Every structure is written in structure tokens, then in C-alpha cells.
């Protein structure tokens, strides 16, 4: 199938890296076994380590097969979305380094995520790689892709919780409390340290921000001082658009 040529070209680097890491992993297993044998003066330790190598081979092989299947499925979806012939799709993407970079990075991300909505968004990105009329469109899509890459289901749940909180006639203080309650509920299944990591990730990506006491607009009618009790989180315009891009609800969440 012509599209498979793109899989090989755009995702080939990822496969090379995977193979290198695989060789490194197997090498470490062998070295660990040798070290254990020497340290314990027990040759059986080396035998046990050697017996692990087929298991590592099997697990890695299946993991790699899943990655390839996810990337292949996303690529097929992208070709359908582009609504052009397979050969033309492949020719357009592979002939232009910028298009190939965008498609290749998107395939790499798609291969490693279990989130279906994220893979759908990546398919749309790869379709743009083939159909964009100018470099500016490719640059913009690459920026969105790199913001999306570190996000998984829990990050998107946090963003969506912030996006759907509405004032609906409530006081500003009630609105802020509602947002924080929904946010904490969205990430409540994680350990506190991981909750912090999720929030740091969406903030570092410019998708959300936190505000403290003296940053409150005076109209909020809240105390100032910057204590933990004076902190709240809010989604940014970029974060709102990211939720819309992933869930295809940009108008609803605007």
C-alpha cells in the first residue's frame, strides 16, 4: 500500500531509535547477569539473567507491534481526511522536509498514546501536513502538535474541568470555587505529587495558569495575600482551543 511508504519514511527514525534502545536494554540485561554472577560467585545468576532475554524480546516485540499498528491506523485516517490519492499524499509529504517533520513527529506521538481522541487529532495534523498551502500553516500545526504531545487523558480531563465551569449567575467567588472543585475531582485519583505534576504540565504549556491573592481583579471581592487559600486555577485561551481541537468542540467551549 502506498501509504506504508510514508510509515517507513516518516516513522523510520523512531524505529531506529527503538531498535537502538532495544539493543541497549538487552545489553544491560546481559551485563547485569554477568555482574551478578561475578558478585555472588554464582554462575546460576548469569544463567537466570540469560533466561530473561527471550521474555524481554517477546514483550518488546509485542509493544513495538502495538506502536506500529497505532501509527498505521492514524496514517490511514489521515489519508482519508486529506481526501487525495494515496500516491499523491505520500509524494507531497515525503518531498518536503517540513511536511515530513510534521507527519513524522505526529506519527511518533500517535504510536505512544492510548487516547483515541488524541490519535484522531494527530490524524488531522498529518492530513494538514499533506494539504497545507503554505509554510505558516505547517508551522502553526507543528506548534499545536508539540503542545499536545505531552498531554494524556488526565491532562485533558483537568483542562476540560476548567473549561466547562460557568458563572451562570453565581458570584465570582462561587464560580472560582466551582472551577477548583471540578478540577480537583478530575485529577483526584492521582497521588498529590502527581496531581501537582499534571497541573505543572498544563501550566508550562501555556494551557492553564494559576493566580494568587494580589493578582485577583478587585471586582472578585476576595482577600489578597497569596496564601494557598487565595489560589485558583483557570484555563487560558490556548488551553480552551486545545480542548476544542482534541474533542472537536471549539465553538462550544469558546
The answer to whether residues 33 and 140 belong to one domain is: yes
Specify the number of domains making up the chain: 2
- The pLDDT of residue 171 is above 70: no
- The pLDDT of residue 17 is above 70: no
Helix extents (H) in 96-233: 97-111, 116-131, 135-148, 153-164, 172-186, 192-204
For residue 182, count CB atoms less than 10 angstroms from its CB and return exposed for 0-12, middle for 13-18, buried for 19 or more: middle
The answer to whether residues 140 and 187 belong to one domain is: no
Give me the residues paired with residue 72 across strands.
Answer: none
The answer to whether residues 140 and 230 belong to one domain is: no
Q: Which of 94, 121, 148 is the last residue of a domain?
A: 148
Using pLDDT thresholds of 50, 70 and 90, give the confidence band for residue 127. Answer: very high
- Are 13 and 104 a contacting pair, CB within 8 Å? yes
The answer to whether residues 92 and 211 belong to one domain is: no
Whole-number Cα distances in Å, 220 to 170, 213, 240:
12, 11, 22
Using pLDDT thresholds of 50, 70 and 90, give the confidence band for residue 251. Answer: very low
- The pLDDT of residue 232 is above 90: no
The answer to whether residues 13 and 122 belong to one domain is: yes
The answer to whether residues 19 and 126 belong to one domain is: yes
The answer to whether residues 17 and 52 belong to one domain is: yes
How high is the pLDDT of residue 149? 94
Average pLDDT rounded to a whole number, residues 61-87: 85
Distance CA 201, CA 35 (A): 39
Which CATH number fits the domain that encloses residue 180? 1.10.10
Of 128-137, 159-168, 178-187, which has the strongest mean pLDDT? 128-137
Q: Which of 121, 148, 175 is the last residue of a domain?
A: 148
Instruction: For cell 506519527, name the residue.
Output: 107
- The pLDDT of residue 51 is above 60: no
- The pLDDT of residue 156 is above 70: yes
- Decide which of 248 and 249 is more confident: 248
Average pLDDT rounded to a whole number, residues 56-67: 76
Q: Poorest-confidence range of 65-69, 141-145, 208-212?
A: 208-212
Instruction: For cell 490556548, name the residue.
Output: 238
Angle at 45 between CA 42 and CA 51, to 5 degrees: 150
The answer to whether residues 140 and 169 belong to one domain is: no
Nearest to 106 by CA among 151, 141, 65: 141
Of 48-57, 154-163, 177-186, which has the strongest mean pLDDT? 154-163
- Are 93 and 24 a contacting pair, CB within 8 Å? no
The answer to whether residues 176 and 69 belong to one domain is: no
- The pLDDT of residue 13 is above 60: no
- Percent of the chain whose pLDDT exceeds 90: 24
- The pLDDT of residue 239 is above 50: yes
The answer to whether residues 199 and 136 belong to one domain is: no
Nearest to 158 by CA among 188, 119, 117: 188
The answer to whether residues 166 and 125 belong to one domain is: no
- Find the domain containing 209 and state its range: 153-253
The answer to whether residues 86 and 16 belong to one domain is: yes
How high is the pLDDT of residue 5? 47
- The pLDDT of residue 204 is above 80: yes
Amino acid at each position: 500500500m502506498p501509504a506504508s511508504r510514508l510509515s517507513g519514511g516518516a516513522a523510520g527514525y523512531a524505529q531506529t531509535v527503538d531498535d537502538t534502545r532495544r539493543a541497549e536494554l538487552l545489553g544491560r540485561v546481559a551485563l547485569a547477569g554477568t555482574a551478578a554472577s561475578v558478585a555472588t560467585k554464582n554462575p546460576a545468576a548469569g544463567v537466570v539473567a540469560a533466561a530473561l532475554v527471550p521474555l524481554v524480546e517477546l514483550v518488546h516485540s509485542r509493544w513495538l507491534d502495538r506502536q506500529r499498528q497505532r501509527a498505521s491506523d492514524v496514517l490511514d485516517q489521515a489519508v482519508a481526511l486529506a481526501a487525495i490519492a494515496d500516491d499523491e499524499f505520500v509524494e507531497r509529504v515525503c518531498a518536503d522536509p517540513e511536511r515530513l517533520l510534521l507527519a513524522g513527529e505526529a506519527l511518533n506521538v500517535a504510536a505512544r498514546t492510548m487516547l483515541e481522541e488524541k490519535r484522531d487529532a494527530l490524524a488531522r495534523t498529518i492530513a494538514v501536513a499533506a494539504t497545507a498551502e503554505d509554510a505558516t500553516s505547517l508551522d502553526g500545526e507543528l506548534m499545536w502538535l508539540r503542545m499536545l504531545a505531552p498531554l494524556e487523558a488526565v491532562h485533558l480531563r483537568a483542562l476540560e474541568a476548567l473549561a466547562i465551569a460557568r458563572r451562570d449567575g453565581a458570584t465570582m467567588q462561587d464560580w472560582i470555587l466551582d472551577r477548583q472543585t471540578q478540577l480537583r475531582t478530575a485529577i483526584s485519583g492521582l497521588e498529590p505529587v502527581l496531581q501537582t505534576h499534571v497541573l505543572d504540565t498544563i501550566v508550562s504549556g501555556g494551557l492553564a495558569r494559576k493566580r494568587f491573592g494580589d493578582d485577583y481583579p478587585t471586582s472578585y471581592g476576595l482577600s489578597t495575600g497569596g496564601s494557598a487559600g487565595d489560589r485558583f486555577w483557570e484555563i487560558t485561551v490556548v488551553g480552551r482551543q486545545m480542548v476544542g481541537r482534541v474533542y472537536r468542540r471549539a465553538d462550544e467551549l469558546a
